Amino acid sequence: MYKKLAKLKYLPNNFEIIENGDHVICAISGKKIPLDQLNYWNVDEQEAYFSYVEASKKRDQED
């Protein structure tokens, strides 16, 4: 299904592909995220999140 991990640079409103691939890994859950479904990330941490749930967990950890 997913063949190659992509390397991305997360920007404020989009991301730049550094190394081609078809997915990234969620920093919280470890789930694979297809690039076409990637909607949540942290620019400062340069991390991807599977959904708003994982993004909220990360935010709550920092408080």
Give the integer Cα–Cα distance in Å for 48 and 39: 8
Domain count, the chain: 1
Domain of 14 in residue numbering reads as 7-62
Residue 26 has what DSSP assignment? B
For 23-37, the pLDDT digits (tens) are 999 999 999 999 999
In a domain, 38, yes or no: yes
Q: Determine contact, residues 58/47, Cβ cutoff 8 Å.
A: yes
Name 19's bridge partners: 7
In a domain, 1, yes or no: no
Residue 36 has what DSSP assignment? G
pTM of the model as a whole:
0.90
Res 54 pLDDT > 70 = yes
**Average pLDDT of the chain?**
94
Instruction: Classify residue 30 as left (phi > 0), alpha (psi -120 to 50) or beta.
Output: left
Give the integer Cα–Cα distance in Å for 51 and 2: 18
In a domain, 31, yes or no: yes
Res 63 pLDDT > 70 = no
